[in-house]
Structures are given as C-alpha cells and as structure tokens.
C-alpha cells in the first residue's frame, strides 16, 4: 500500500529540525544525568553507579548518533534511506552509518542486560571479588556485546546492486518521490527483508529473554529470600523497582513507533510522514531514560529538587529518613 503525502511531516525539514531540537535538549539532560550519577549517588548505591553510568553513556551516545550525526530518513517498507546529519558533511558512507546504527540498538540491549546481571550477581554473591566467577561473567558479557555488534552482519553480506534496487523500489513504491533517490547518501540495505528481519528478531529475542531472566531472578531473590535487615531489604526493593522503571518506561514509549516500523515492513505500507514521526519518537528514548532515572531514584530526585528549590525542605526530610537508616551497601 502506498500513501503519497505532501504534509510537512513527510519533509526532510521536519526530520532535521525536530532532531536538532531534540539534540539540544538531550545534551542538557545527559550532562545533568552524568552529574547526578557521579556526584549525587549515595554511598549505599555505589555498587550500581558504574553500570548505571555506563547505561547512561550508551544512551547518550545513541542519542547523539541518531539525532545529530546520522539523522536517518527511512523509506519504508524497503530497508533503505539516507542521512541528513553531520555524517553527510564528514563524508561517512551510509552503509557504515547503517551498520553502526543497527549495532547501537544491540549495544543498548546488551548494556541493559549487564545492568540487571550485575545487580543480580551482587545481591546473590555479595560484593567480594571472586576471580573464577569474575572471568566467567566477563566472558558472558563480552559474548553478548559481540552478538550486539555483529548480529546485523549477515544482511551486509548480501547488499544488492544499488542502481537495480532503485528501479525495484520504484515499482514497489510507485508514489515515492523520484527526488528521494537523488539524495546524497541514499542507500538500499536490502529489497527482500527476510534476512534483515530474522537478524533483528533473533537478536532481540536473545537479549530480551536474558533480561527477563535476571529481572525475575532479582524479584524472586528480593521478595522470597530476604537475608538482610528489614531496612536494608526495603531499600533493596525500592532500588530494584526504580531500576525497572528507569529502563521500562522509555521502552514502553519506543514500542509503539518501533511496532509501526515492523508493521510497515510486514504489510508493505509506505507513508513517509508516519515513518518520519516514528523515527522522531524513537529519538527521544535517551531523554526519557535520563528523565526516568532522575525521577525514580530518590537521591537523584532529591538533588534535583534541591537544585530547583522544589519543596526541598520536605523532600530532604523524607528521603534522608529513608536513605540514612542503613549504612550497608545495597
């Protein structure tokens, strides 16, 4: 199905302008997010600070990549498109941009996996180092990052002839404007989306299954096998719930535009305006992740309230009463 659109949402100006604004907003959020993680993390949360900071850096870099460096415009339902970002000025080939962009999706999932795996390990085995277990964990995490950075490789092993592909696209999507094919950096990853779909589906399932395993394992450990004081146990549960909200609130927002992209490919539906809106919505993932982190974690919310003087006295008394009752690391 082909829907020709002449609305502003279908233009390059909408994509570039929206993502430029998001980049400016994201820089402020990410800088402040890094500040509160490094400077406002209480001693009881030191064990989650490193993984939280790594997740923050990955999300921040992904935001910069998609909203500033690449600014991809997809011509769905074919896996093709072109960049509008700084990469065009820098002369970075679109095929390299595409590979890095796809890999970043896997890296985000792998980092979320590490976020929960590290938390589960520290809850179950404590904070003392174990050389044998440490090497096994490192090998396990490196394997997942290897999968994250190579899962899309099979698609790049059969990139079609670009000139022939453009002719095929014109037949499949007759209402697409011919000027799109003249855009600098226009690139066709694949005409037949089976291999691409399998690569994304298998890797996504692999990471999500592992993430769910650790989330469920942490839940069972915290809610069925308490081995610490009541106060520490309560704080551990609060931290776990906050970690879940930090990850899953932005994920739920991204699910809808990502679902549209999948359905567009599956049902061979072309609507450039809708595709651009979907990509712009996905681009706010990093901002939402940082915002959720600041809101759901009590120490960061407290620090932000003090900074902007939002009922700081009341917030200080409530949060300090909870977080000052235990000196044990969580």
- Asked whether residue 283 is assigned to any structural domain, the reply reads yes
- Asked whether residue 49 is assigned to any structural domain, the reply reads yes
- Asked whether residue 328 is assigned to any structural domain, the reply reads no
Domain count, the chain: 1
Predicted local distance difference test score (pLDDT) of residue 53: 96
Strand partners, 231: none
* Containing structural domain, residue 59: 8-323
- Asked whether residue 69 is assigned to any structural domain, the reply reads yes
* Per-residue tokens: 59: 């999300």
Q: Model pTM?
A: 0.90
> To which H or E segment does residue 319 belong?
helix 312-323
- Asked whether residue 210 is assigned to any structural domain, the reply reads yes
CA-nearest of 329, 286, 322 to 301 is: 322
Q: How far apart are CA 163 and CA 181, in angstroms?
A: 10
pLDDT tens-digit map of 257-269: 888 888 888 888 9
Query: How many C-beta atoms surround the C-beta of residue 308 within 10 A?
Result: 9
- Asked whether residue 2 is assigned to any structural domain, the reply reads no
Instruction: Say if residues 55 and 110 touch (Cβ distance below 8 Å).
Output: no
Q: How far apart are CA 88 and CA 12, in angstroms?
A: 14
Burial (Cβ within 10 Å: 0-12, 13-18, ≥19) of residue 54: middle
What is the chain's pLDDT, residue by residue, as a tens digit (330 residues)? Answer: 777 667 899 999 999 999 999 999 999 999 999 999 999 999 888 889 999 999 999 999 999 999 999 999 999 899 999 999 999 999 999 999 999 999 999 999 999 999 999 999 988 887 666 667 788 999 999 999 999 999 999 999 999 999 999 999 988 888 888 889 999 999 999 998 889 989 999 999 999 999 999 999 999 999 886 666 777 888 889 999 999 999 998 888 888 888 888 888 888 899 999 999 999 998 888 899 999 999 999 999 999 988 887 655 554 545 555 554 455 567
CA-nearest of 39, 56, 34 to 112 is: 56
- Asked whether residue 329 is assigned to any structural domain, the reply reads no
3-state secondary structure of 170: helix
Q: How far apart are CA 266 and CA 271, in angstroms?
A: 14
- Asked whether residue 330 is assigned to any structural domain, the reply reads no
CATH number, domain at 304? 1.20.1070.10
pLDDT tens-digit map of 181-207: 999 999 999 998 889 989 999 999 999
| Residue 168: C-alpha distances to residues 191, 309, 329 (Å) | 8, 60, 60
Predicted local distance difference test score (pLDDT) of residue 315: 47
């Amino acid at each position: 199905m082909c829907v020709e659109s002449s609305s502003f949402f279908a233009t390059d100006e909408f994509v570039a302008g929206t993502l430029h604004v998001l980049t400016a907003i994201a820089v402020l959020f990410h800088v402040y997010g890094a500040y509160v993680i490094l400077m406002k993390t209480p001693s009881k949360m030191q064990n989650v600070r490193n993984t939280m900071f790594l997740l923050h850096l990955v999300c921040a870099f992904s935001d910069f990549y998609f909203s500033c460096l690449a600014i991809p415009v997809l011509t769905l339902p074919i896996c093709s498109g072109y960049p509008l970002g700084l990469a065009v000025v820098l002369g970075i080939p679109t095929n390299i941009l595409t590979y890095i962009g796809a890999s970043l999706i896997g890296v985000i999932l792998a980092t979320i996996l590490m976020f929960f795996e590290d938390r589960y390990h520290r809850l179950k085995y404590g904070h003392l180092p174990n050389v044998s277990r440490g090497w096994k964990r490192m090998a396990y995490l490196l394997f997942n990052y290897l999968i994250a950075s190579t899962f899309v490789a099979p698609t790049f092993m059969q990139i079609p002839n670009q000139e022939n592909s453009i002719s095929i696209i014109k037949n499949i999507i007759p209402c697409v404007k011919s000027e799109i094919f003249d855009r600098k950096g226009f690139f066709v990853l694949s005409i037949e989306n089976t291999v691409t779909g399998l690569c994304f589906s298998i890797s996504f399932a692999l990471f999500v299954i592992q993430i769910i395993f650790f989330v469920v394992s942490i839940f069972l450990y915290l809610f069925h096998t308490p081995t610490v004081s009541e106060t520490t146990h309560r704080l551990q549960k609060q931290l776990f719930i906050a970690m879940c909200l930090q990850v899953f609130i932005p994920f739920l927002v991204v699910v809808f535009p990502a679902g549209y992209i999948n359905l567009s490919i599956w049902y061979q539906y072309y609507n450039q305006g809708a595709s651009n809106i979907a990509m712009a919505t996905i681009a706010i993932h990093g901002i939402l992740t940082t915002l959720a982190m600041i809101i759901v974690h009590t120490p960061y919310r407290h620090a932000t309230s003090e900074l902007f003087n939002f009922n700081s006295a009341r917030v200080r008394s409530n949060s300090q009463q909870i977080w000052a009752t235990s000196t044990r690391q969580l």
